[in-house]
Amino acid sequence: MPNPLQSSALLALGAGVLILLKPKLLNYIVAAYLISDGALRLLGRRT
């Protein structure tokens, strides 16, 4: 299992690639990123 720093970096990289490929989905990608980041922080997997 990747450490929290790696999972955050992978999440950000994936979001960036999706934004480059589908700029019209920017709002949904940002919302998904914020929700997943918040969930990881609540679960204590990311500081």
Give the count of beta carbons closer than 10 Å to the beta carbon of residue 34. Answer: 11
In a domain, 31, yes or no: yes
Give pLDDT tens digits for 10-20. Answer: 888 888 888 88
19: Cα within 13 Å, side-chain hemisphere: 14
Give the count of beta carbons closer than 10 Å to the beta carbon of residue 8. Answer: 19
Structural domains of the chain, count: 1
Give pLDDT tens digits for 28-43. Answer: 888 888 888 888 788 8
| Residue-number span of the structural domain to which 8 is assigned | 4-42
Q: Which residues of 16-28 are buried (b: 16+ CB within 10 A; e: fewer)?
A: eebeeeeeeeeee
In a domain, 47, yes or no: no
> Sign (positive/negative) of CA torsion 19, 21, 24, 28?
negative
